[in-house]
Amino acid sequence: MHDPRVLLDPATDAVRRLARRGYHLDLAQLEKLLGGRNAAIQRGDEARAESKRIASAVKNASPEERPALVERARELKSTVAAAEEEHKTLEAELQDFLLGVPNLPADELPDGSSDDDAELVRTWGEPAQLDFAPLDHVDLGEKLGILDLPRATKLSGPRFAVLRGQGAALERAIGRFFLDLHTRRHGYTEFSVPTLVTRATMTGTGQLPKFEQDLFRTEVADRELFLIPTAEVPLTNLHARETLPLTELPLAYTAQTPCFRSEAGSYGRDTRGLIRLHEFSKVELVRIVDAERSREELEILLGHAEAVLQELGLAYRVVKLAAGDIGFSAEFTYDIEVWLPSQGRYREISSVSDFGTFQARRAGIRTRAKDGSRGFAATLNGSGLPVGRTLVAILEQGQQADGSVRIPEALVPYTGFDVLHPEQ
């Protein structure tokens, strides 16, 4: 969320910057709401000050003067009440307005609003040159006997998955490997967090109010809770409404959780198989940092996500997203895209984003320097990685001509096997 005064400051250039992501900022409406709220506050303060003077005057007033003063005191009481009510109404309208304004994209992001507008940063690994027609992960999984989509549909409807046998073991191994890498090598603290959270928690990281239609919501005994779309939500909000000493930053947190997304509006090829499910497992990385170091910290976070793919030997590339293609809360985003032989192209496996102070303002995550000065933290997050999409890449990049799949060496200690063989 933004400080409205910053948005109104011409130096911020908010209208131009937000237009790069396709958002029109109504400065006139913002100024009207802010000005009206401030005027209501001032009227209330002035009426309270006069009311105090009248109260003192009443004590020393003559019998002839007292009735007029008492009447004036009643008028001022009504004025204060009206000003407070107007302030409350305009404050709510201002907050609703600000909650709908996305973050300002960084100027160094390229223009555009689609994958085609992303800027290539680097590639790692060479996509394998297969001398046979590659299968996609669904066909591979079914031939290997590890993926059962029809029974998942029977249980829950479309866009759910059932993994069996070595497939379930591989899924479990991937998550354990991710967590061990990030906690032992990269210094993250692992958490086990709730997957049901409050509306305030969802609002803190920017999922609400804008993306309510993309969330799974439950209400039991008049208690409203939302299923998390990513562990970013509970991990970031662990410090909601807290003040953190700058000397304790950065904080680096990770968790593996199920994630739930309605994926409203998605269609086509990605709805087949494991790439775009309603429920999936993901290891998330969150960093809470000094706002002055957020971009440097983003590069660190990106390196941690890349290290996973490098350890697994999976070819990938890093791109800088266009200003019109970044998420609502982000000001800068890198996508990591892994090579999928069946599609002959790179596909997103992780987004790594710098939110600046945007989420911290919404969630109330403040900082305190040694000299006592206060500010807001910067928050960053990235997938490190989604288990299902990583499994997709392992199956496709590791497939052999005989239908078997080689497992990355780094996972063998976790799986106990190094090759998946087709069912006979």
User: Is residue 192 marked as binding?
Assistant: no
Nearest one of 238, 231, 233 to 203, comparing CA atoms: 233
Q: What's residue 264's pLDDT? A: 63
Check the annotation: does 230 bind a ligand: yes
Number of neighbours of residue 162 by Cβ within 10 angstroms = 17
Q: What pLDDT is stored for residue 61 in this prediction?
A: 80
The answer to whether the CB of 27 falls within 8 A of the CB of 8 is yes
- Of residues 148, 120, 236, 145, the one with CA closest to residue 421: 145
| Residues 378/289, Cβ–Cβ less than 8 Å | yes
Q: Is 349 labeled as ligand-binding?
A: yes
**Residue 93, annotated as binding a ligand:** no
Q: Is 261 annotated as a binding residue?
A: yes
- The verdict on whether residue 348 carries a ligand-binding annotation is yes
Q: Cβ of 191: how many Cβ atoms within 10 Å?
A: 16
Q: Would you name the residues annotated as active-site residues?
A: 261, 276, 348, 351, 389
pLDDT value for 190: 98
**HEC sequence for 321-374:** CCHHHCCCCCCEEEEEEEEECCCCEEEEEEEEEECCCHHHHHHCEEEECCCCCE
- Residue 298 makes CB contacts below 8 A (sequence gap 6+) with 332, 334, 352, 353, 354, 380
Q: Say what the pLDDT of residue 270 is.
A: 65
Place of tokens 């090598």: 185
Per-residue pLDDT of the chain (424 residues; tens, 9 = 90+): 899 999 999 999 999 999 999 999 999 999 999 999 999 999 999 999 998 898 888 878 888 888 888 888 889 989 999 999 999 999 999 999 999 999 999 999 999 999 999 999 999 999 988 999 999 999 999 999 999 999 999 999 999 999 999 999 999 999 999 999 999 999 999 999 999 999 999 999 999 999 999 999 999 988 999 999 999 999 999 999 999 999 999 999 999 999 999 876 555 556 789 999 999 999 999 999 999 999 999 999 999 999 999 999 999 999 999 999 999 999 999 999 999 999 999 999 999 999 999 999 999 999 999 999 999 999 999 999 999 999 999 999 999 999 999 999 999 999 999 999 997 6
For the chain, domains (ranges, CATH) are 4-99 (1.10.287.40), 115-420 (3.30.930.10)
**Cα–Cα distance between 175 and 396 in angstroms, integer?**
18
